[in-house]
Every structure is written in structure tokens, then in C-alpha cells.
């Protein structure tokens, strides 16, 4: 094992969220980077970033694993094993599954042989996935014990509702995971909580709708989602669909508490800029409520008030703090959710955004807004990137084509709450060797706050 590998959990996961919080500090970050949308004819790649403050290459990209083809649009990714199978000594959190949303290719990346320079292990082609399952546009990846399931946003032709792809531990296609989609109209993110026999999935839009860019009229034409779906996890079928209406326009990221006994969960509704909380009532029925409402802001170049566009949410490992980004407004927020129905606003920082409240951070110009976030296991460091989706980036932040994206680190107060941007950490993807790239989701070798589920 290399020194880098000795600092991370090489087993399948942690026995509990509390154990995860005591893990060593992350020293490497894996972040997807892409050239699609820039005009640069180069493959997207997995960037390895040095996150060790004692290192001479701190906050620098130290290796780049290019994908075999051009035009993948790398987006989200996930591990082959997580804390859902921590009791199985035969499992190892070794491989990252890195999908291309546009190509539907699944890149299986070996991160254990040399954690500082991951290697491509295998590619499952999008054509094979389409032929065998009639699915395309992979998004969220979750370990399911020994197997893996991936939310797929469309059928082979890019139309809704999509479904869920099931692959085994040898990265072979098993088929479609679900038995019955019920009333599901679209697909996006999902999270499962086995002790309650439930999985929750959310809705974006059909790939043919969102890939060309955003058209507000298509929301009115019901081409974007506004429902959450509660699944009977064991039977793999939708049991209840919740219509969120105007309070839940385009519900994206979904998160349960990390505590496997908890029935509380949260969703960020992007366009209506609300946080939705769901839970079981005294009779065991799933219900929802709006707990945070981000006010729209006037903007001189917009005919309507500018929505925040909550593009991502995240819950700290101890289930105390909720974080989310307003991609268009440009702020990252922290709330204490000790009482899930009554969150308390505890912190806020600004970077980029259309409100122009922080056009520069650490002396550098920010193009785009805070988009994807990943929190350290101890809850003290929040890593933030700026790209949402290539066509949407170019539409709302056209300068990103030439300026590229970036990553910053936010220091988080885990005692009383509060946030501040760290002055010593900045990764400028606009200065990558092949030209300005942009960056999206981040993972850590030892697991993180959005990949581990306990059973």
C-alpha cells in the first residue's frame, strides 16, 4: 500500500456514521472534469487533487485520467462498495463508477492500485446498456450490498421516464432493477433506507428536454418534474408518489438522514428554490412539508425575479447540518436541522452567481455559481465546484467556456455553526493543460457524506 492508501478506509465502509466521523482527514479528492461545451476536442477526465495541507502540491491537480472517448459529459459517480456492506470482509471500496450522462458509458476506475493516479479498469458501453435495458443517461450511483444500482434518466431514445440499471460486483449488466415504475414520470436522484423498506427518487426531466439547455416554457408544459416517489424497496416498486406542485418545481437531490433508524429526509426543489422535508407520521404514512423558502431576487437582465436554483443539498454525517447551494444567486447556506421541521439558519458564504455579491474569491474571478458540494467526514471542510451541466453553464454563465470552472474549500464550524471560505485552497480548472475545463462532483478515497448508506 502507498502512504496515500494507508490514510483511507480500504475496506467496504464504516460500522456507523459516528465511526466515519473519526476517520483520518481526506488527503486526496477525485473530481470529474469536462471539456464538453468548451469547443475543446479532448476527453473528459477524472482529476486527482492533493488535499493534504502539509504537501508541496496542496490544492493542485496531481493526475488526470482521461476517458477513452470524447463527449461523455462526466457528471456524478459512486463507489462499488460502501458502508452498506461493511461486515463483508471480501468487499473493498476500490472502484469508482464514473458515468457519462451523454454517452451513457460507465467507466470503472481502479483507485486502489495507486490512489494518486487512478487507472481505467473497464468500460461498459452506453450502446450495450441501451441494447440490453432500453435505458440511457446514467446519473446517481449507489452500492447495494454486493451489487450496484444506477438511476437512468431516459430510455434508449432519450425519452422519460427512464429507470434503474442493475450491475453486479464484476461490473456486468444484470438488467433493470425496478419491477414497477408506478406513476413515475421522470427520474433523477435516489436514496434508500432499508430499515424502513423505502427508497425515495426524484425527478428532473427527459434527457431530450434538459440536454439542449433550459427553456422556462417547458416547465409550464409539464416537461420538468414536481414529484417524489416512495418505493417499496424489497419489492422494487413505487408505492406512493407525492405531488409537490408549485412548492416543488424540479426536485433534484434527495437525502435521508445517515442514521439508518431515522425516517427523516430532505429534497432540494431547484426551480422553486425550496427545501422539502419528508417523514413518517404517527400512523406510519409518508408526508412532506416545505421547511425553507429562498426568496427570488430582482435582476436587471431578467424579466422575472431570479430564482436561487437549489442545485444540490447535503447532510453532515452526524445529521445536524444541512447544506445547499443557490447556483444562480451565488450563495452556499448552512442550516441546523436538529429539529428537522424547524431548521435554523447558521451560515452563508458567497461565490460567483448572477447577483454579483462575490465576483472574486481568494483574488480569483469566479465564473458560474456554487453548484456541487462534498463535505469531509468530520464535517469541517466543504468542497465546492461551479459547473451544473454544460449547456446550462453556457446558457447562464457564457464566460465559463473560456474561463473554466474552479473548486474552493469552505471551513465549517461544527460547534455553533458558521462558514468561511478558506484563503489557502483554490483549484483553477480554467488553467488546465489542454485549456479551460470545468468541474463537477467530488469523492474521497475513504468515502464521503453522500456515498455511504447504513443498513
Model confidence at 303, pLDDT cuts 50, 70, 90, reads confident
- Does residue 313 carry a pLDDT above 90? yes
Residue 116, Cβ neighbours under 10 Å: how many?
A: 17
Among the residue ranges 299-313, 320-334, 368-382, the one predicted with the least confidence is 299-313
Predicted confidence at residue 117, as pLDDT, reads: 98
Structural domain harbouring 94: 3-443
pTM: 0.96
Q: Is residue 453 part of a domain?
A: no
Taking the C-alpha atoms of residue 298 and residue 356, their distance in angstroms, rounded to an integer, is 12
Q: Is residue 85 part of a domain?
A: yes
The CATH number of residue 114's host domain is 2.130.10.10
What is the overall mean pLDDT for the chain? 95
Which residue has 473497464 as its cell numbers? 122
Taking the C-alpha atoms of residue 421 and residue 356, their distance in angstroms, rounded to an integer, is 17
Identify whether the C-beta of residue 44 lies closer than 8 Å to the C-beta of residue 67. yes
Model confidence at 2, pLDDT cuts 50, 70, 90, reads very low
Q: Is residue 450 part of a domain?
A: no
404 φ/ψ sector (left φ>0, alpha ψ -120 to 50, else beta): left
Q: Is residue 452 part of a domain?
A: no
Closest CA to 348 of 382, 388, 376: 382
Q: Is residue 160 part of a domain?
A: yes
Q: Is residue 449 part of a domain?
A: no
Which triple of cell numbers denotes residue 165?
440499471
DSSP label at residue 235: T
Model confidence at 170, pLDDT cuts 50, 70, 90, reads very high
Model confidence at 10, pLDDT cuts 50, 70, 90, reads low
Residue 89, Cβ neighbours under 10 Å: how many?
A: 9
Q: Is residue 295 part of a domain?
A: yes
The domain tally of the chain equals 1
Quick: pLDDT tens for 217-268.
999 999 999 999 999 999 999 999 999 999 999 999 999 999 999 999 999 9
Q: Is residue 448 part of a domain?
A: no
Quick: pLDDT tens for 57-106.
999 999 999 999 999 999 999 999 998 888 888 888 999 999 999 999 99
Amino acid at each position: 500500500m502507498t502512504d496515500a492508501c494507508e490514510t483511507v478506509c480500504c475496506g467496504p465502509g464504516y460500522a456507523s456514521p459516528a465511526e466515519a466521523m473519526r476517520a483520518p482527514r481526506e488527503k486526496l479528492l477525485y473530481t470529474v472534469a469536462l471539456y464538453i461545451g468548451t469547443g475543446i476536442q479532448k476527453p473528459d477526465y477524472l482529476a486527482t487533487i492533493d488535499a493534504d495541507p502539509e504537501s508541496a502540491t496542496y490544492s493542485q491537480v496531481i493526475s488526470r485520467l482521461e476517458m477513452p472517448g470524447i463527449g461523455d459529459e462526466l457528471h456524478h459517480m459512486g463507489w462499488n462498495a460502501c458502508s452498506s456492506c461493511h461486515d463483508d470482509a471480501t468487499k473493498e471500496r476500490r472502484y469508482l463508477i464514473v458515468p457519462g450522462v451523454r454517452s451513457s458509458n460507465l467507466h470503472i476506475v481502479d483507485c486502489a492500485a495507486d490512489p494518486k493516479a487512478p487507472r481505467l479498469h473497464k468500460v461498459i458501453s452506453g450502446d450495450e446498456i441501451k441494447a440490453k435495458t432500453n435505458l440511457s443517461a446514467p446519473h446517481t450511483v449507489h452500492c447495494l450490498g454486493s451489487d450496484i444500482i444506477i438511476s437512468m434518466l431516459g430510455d434508449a431514445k432519450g425519452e422519460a421516464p427512464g429507470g434503474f440499471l442493475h450491475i453486479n460486483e464484476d461490473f456486468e449488466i444484470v438488467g433493470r432493477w425496478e419491477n414497477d415504475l408506478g406513476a413515475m414520470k421522470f427520474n433523477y436522484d435516489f436514496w434508500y433506507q432499508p430499515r424502513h423498506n423505502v427508497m425515495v427518487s426524484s425527478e428532473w426531466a427527459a434527457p431530450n428536454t434538459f440536454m439542449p439547455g433550459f427553456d422556462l416554457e417547458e416547465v409550464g408544459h409539464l416537461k420538468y418534474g414536481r414529484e417524489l416517489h416512495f418505493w417499496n424497496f424489497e419489492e422494487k416498486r413505487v408505492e406512493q408518489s407525492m405531488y409537490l406542485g408549485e412548492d416543488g418545481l424540479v426536485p433534484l437531490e434527495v437525502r435521508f438522514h445517515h442514521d439508518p433508524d431515522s425516517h427523516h429526509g430532505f429534497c432540494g426543489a431547484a426551480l422553486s428554490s425550496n427545501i422539502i422535508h419528508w417523514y413518517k407520521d404517527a400512523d406510519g404514512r409518508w408526508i412532506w412539508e416545505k421547511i425553507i423558502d429562498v426568496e427570488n431576487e430582482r435582476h436587471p437582465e431578467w424579466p422575472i425575479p431570479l430564482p436561487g436554483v437549489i442545485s444540490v443539498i447535503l447532510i453532515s454525517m452526524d445529521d445536524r447540518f444541512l447544506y445547499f447551494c443557490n447556483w444562480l444567486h451565488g450563495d452556499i447556506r448552512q442550516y441546523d436541522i436538529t429539529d428537522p421541521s424547524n431548521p435554523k439558519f447558521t451560515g452563508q458564504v458567497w461565490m460567483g452567481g448572477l447577483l454579483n455579491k462575490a465576483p472574486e474569491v481568494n483574488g480569483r474571478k469566479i465564473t458560474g455559481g456554487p453548484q456541487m458540494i462534498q463535505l469531509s467526514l468530520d464535517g469541517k471542510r466543504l468542497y465546492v465546484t461551479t459547473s451544473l451541466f454544460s449547456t446550462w453553464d453556457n446558457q447562464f454563465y457564457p464566460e465559463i467556456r473560456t474561463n473554466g470552472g474552479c473548486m474552493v474549500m469552505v471551513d465549517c464550524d461544527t460547534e455553533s455553526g458558521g462558514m468561511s471560505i478558506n484563503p489557502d485552497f483554490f483549484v483553477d480548472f480554467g488553467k488546465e493543460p489542454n485549456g479551460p475545463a470545468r468541474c463537477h462532483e467530488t469523492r474521497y478515497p475513504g468515502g464521503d457524506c453522500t456515498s455511504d448508506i447504513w443498513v
